[in-house]
Amino acid sequence: MGRRVVICGIDTSTLPRLTAKEAVALMEKVKQGDKGARNRFIMCNIRLVLSVVQRYVERCNSPDDLFQVGCVGLIKSVDNFDNTLNVKFSTYAVPMIVGEIRRFLRESNSLRVSRGIRDVAYVALQARDEIERNNEVATVELVAKKINKTIAEVVFALDAISHPISLFEPVYSDGIEAVLVMDQISDVKNTDENWIKRISLAEAVVQLNDRERSILKKRYYEGKTQIEVSAEVGISQAQVSRLEKNAVKRIREYV
C-alpha cells in the first residue's frame, strides 16, 4: 500500500503511476496528438510538481498558488519535450517547473523590481542551472561570462529578486534554544561601546548650564554659525566662541 500524503489538497496515494516503459509508450501517443494520453501523462507526473512545491512552500503564503504555477510548468514540459532524445522526462520537466515557480515568486515579491533586472536574474539562474547540470561549480564569474554581463550586474539582479526573510527566522536549533538570523548579523554602528558613549554624552550635557546647552544646540544640531548664535543669544561672537569651547572641553573631560 502506498503511503498516504496530502499536499495542496491532493492525496498522493491516489495518483496513478507509470513504469518507464509505459511512460515512453504514453509519450509517443501524446506526440501523435492523443489528448487523452496527454491528460493521463500529466496526471501521472503531478508528483513532480508536488515535490518541487515542497521546496518553496515556506516562501509563499499559498501552496495552492505554487501548485497551480508548477502545473503550468509541467504542461509546458509535456508539450515541449523531445521524446527522440535519450533523456528522462523528469530530467527535463523539473527545471521547467522550478523555473515557473521561481518566476512567480519573483513577480509576486512585495518589493517591486524592474522587468529588465528580473530578466537578467532569470537568465542568470538558467545559466547557473545549465552549468551545474554539467557538473561544474556555478561561480558568479562563470555565470556572468556565460550571459555576457558584468559580475556586478549579475550580483545586483540576483540580490534584487532574493526573497526577504524575517530577522526572527531560526537558522539553527538544538531543540532547546534557537539561533535567529538577527543573532548572526553584526552591527558596527549600534555597538555596546557606542551606546555607552551616547549615554555618557547625554549625562555630560546635563552638567552644562542653560546658556551652554542652548549654544551647543544651535551650533551642532541646528548648524548655525557663531555670528548667527551671537545675534540670537544677545552676546558677542567672541563670547559665543569661548562658551562653546569651554562646554566642549567639559563634555570631553566628563566622557
Report pLDDT digits (tens) over 210-230: 999 999 999 988 888 989 999
Cα separation values, 68 from 49, 198, 202, Å: 9, 54, 58
Residue 9: pLDDT band (50, 70, 90) is low
**Looking at per-residue confidence, does 200 or 108 come out higher?**
200
Say which DSSP state 4 is in: P
- The least confident of 138-142, 157-161, 210-214, 231-235 is 157-161
Cα 89 from Cα 27, distance rounded (Å): 9
- The least confident of 4-8, 70-74, 84-88 is 4-8
**Looking at per-residue confidence, does 234 or 189 come out higher?**
234
Share of the chain above pLDDT 70, in %: 80
Cα 26 from Cα 41, distance rounded (Å): 7
Cell of 10: 491532493
Ranges 14-18, 200-204, 229-233, most confident: 229-233
Share of the chain above pLDDT 90, in %: 15
pTM of the entire predicted model: 0.44
Cα 48 from Cα 101, distance rounded (Å): 13
- Can you give the length of the chain in residues? 255
